[in-house]
Structure 1
Amino acid sequence: MTAVDADVWAFPFDEEGLELNESYRRARTAEGLVRVQQAYGEAAWLATRYEDVRFVLADPRFSRAMSMTENCPRTTEGVQRGGLLFMDRQDHARIRGLVAKAFTMRQVAALRPKVHQLTDTLAERIASRTPPIDLVEDYAKPARSTVIFELLGIPPEDRNGFRGLCEGVLSTGAMSAEEFGANHVKLNGYMAELVHRRRHEPGDDLMTALIAARDLQDRLSEEELVNVCIDILLPAYQSQVPNFVTALMRQPGAWEKLVAEPHLLPSAIEELVRFVPLVEGAPFPRYATEDIEVGGVLVRAGEPVLVSMASANRDSSVFAGADGLVLDRQDNRHLGFGHGIHFCLGAQLARMALYEELSALIRRIPTLRPAGEAVWNTEMGIRGLRALPVGW
Structure 2
Amino acid sequence: MSLRSRVTSAIGRLVVARTMRGGALDLRALRRMPDRLTFPFRRDGLDPVTEVSELREHAPVARLGDFFGRGVWLVTSYGDTRALLADGTSFSNDLGQFVSQEGRSAEEQIGGLGMTDPPLHTELRRYLTPEFTRRKLARLEPLIEGIVARRLDAIAAQGPDLDLVEDFAFPIPFEVICELLGLPVEDRRHFATLGVARFDLSQGGVGSFGAAAASREFLIGAVARQRDEPGPGLIGGLLTEHGDHLDDVTLGGLADGVFLGGYETSASMLGLGAYLVSRDPSARELLLADDGSADRVVEELLRHLTVVQVAFPRFARVDVPLADGRTIRAGDVVGFSLVAANRDPALTPDADTFDPTRAPTRHVAFGHGLHRCVGAELARMELRIALRELVRRFPDLSPTAEPDELEFRKL
- Provide the TM-score with structure 2 as the length reference: 0.80
Tell me, which stretches of 5 or more residues in structure 1 are unaligned?
1-7, 73-78, 380-392
* Alignment pair present for 1:10 and 2:19: no
Tell me, which stretches of 5 or more residues in structure 2 are unaligned?
1-33, 101-107
Letter in 2 for 1:356: I
Counterparts of 2:79 and 2:60, CA distance in 1: 12
Q: Say whether the 8 Å CA contact 1:247–1:276 is kept in structure 2.
A: no
Letter in 1 for 2:262: A
Query: What's the counterpart of residue 107 of structure 1?
Result: 136
Shift of 1:42: 3.8
Shift of 1:295: 5.8
- Structure 1 residues 32 and 103 mapped into 2: Cα distance closer, same or farther (>3 Å)? closer
Query: What's the counterpart of residue 75 of structure 2?
Result: 47
- Structure 1 residues 50 and 19 mapped into 2: Cα distance closer, same or farther (>3 Å)? same
Counterparts of 1:133 and 1:353, CA distance in 2: 19
CA RMSD of superposed structures (Å) = 2.7
- Structure 1 residues 327 and 12 mapped into 2: Cα distance closer, same or farther (>3 Å)? same
* Alignment pair present for 1:268 and 2:300: no
Deviations 1:74-107 (A, max 9, x none): xxxxx98211111113211111111111111111
* Alignment pair present for 1:169 and 2:208: no
Letter in 2 for 1:375: E
Query: What's the counterpart of residue 289 of structure 1?
Result: 317
Deviations 1:356-392 (A, max 9, x none): 001101111111112366432325xxxxxxxxxxxxx
- Structure 1 residues 185 and 114 mapped into 2: Cα distance closer, same or farther (>3 Å)? closer
Query: What's the counterpart of residue 378 of structure 2?
Result: 349
Alignment length, in residue pairs?
361
- Structure 1 residues 324 and 111 mapped into 2: Cα distance closer, same or farther (>3 Å)? same
> Which residue, out of 207, 210, 217, partners 1:182?
210
- Structure 1 residues 80 and 31 mapped into 2: Cα distance closer, same or farther (>3 Å)? farther
Deviations 1:41-90 (A, max 9, x none): 84411100001111111111244444222379xxxxxx982111111132
Counterparts of 2:89 and 2:263, CA distance in 1: 32
Counterparts of 1:212 and 1:259, CA distance in 2: 38
Query: What's the counterpart of residue 263 of structure 2?
Result: 237
Query: What's the counterpart of residue 227 of structure 2?
Result: 199
> Which residue, out of 371, 379, 385, partners 2:400?
371
Deviations 1:19-44 (A, max 9, x none): 21001111101245112259888441
* Alignment pair present for 1:157 and 2:186: yes
> Which residue, out of 220, 241, 249, partners 1:223?
249
Q: Say whether the 8 Å CA contact 2:308–2:338 is kept in structure 1.
A: no
Query: What's the counterpart of residue 125 of structure 2?
Result: 96
- Structure 1 residues 88 and 224 mapped into 2: Cα distance closer, same or farther (>3 Å)? same
In structure 1, the residue corresponding to 2:150 is in which secondary structure? Answer: helix
Q: Say whether the 8 Å CA contact 1:103–1:346 is kept in structure 2.
A: yes
Q: Say whether the 8 Å CA contact 2:220–2:253 is kept in structure 1.
A: no
Counterparts of 2:125 and 2:109, CA distance in 1: 20
- Structure 1 residues 195 and 80 mapped into 2: Cα distance closer, same or farther (>3 Å)? closer
Letter in 1 for 2:410: T
Letter in 2 for 1:227: G
Query: What's the counterpart of residue 161 of structure 2?
Result: 132
Query: What's the counterpart of residue 86 of structure 1?
Result: 115
The 5 Å alignment of 1:293-304 reads 293-294=321-322, 296=324, 297-304=326-333
What stretches of structure 1 move > 6 A for 4+ residues in a row? 38-41
> Which residue, out of 110, 127, 152, partners 1:123?
152
Shift of 1:254: 4.3
Letter in 2 for 1:378: K
In structure 1, the residue corresponding to 2:361 is in which secondary structure? Answer: coil
Counterparts of 1:64 and 1:56, CA distance in 2: 11
Shift of 1:131: 0.9
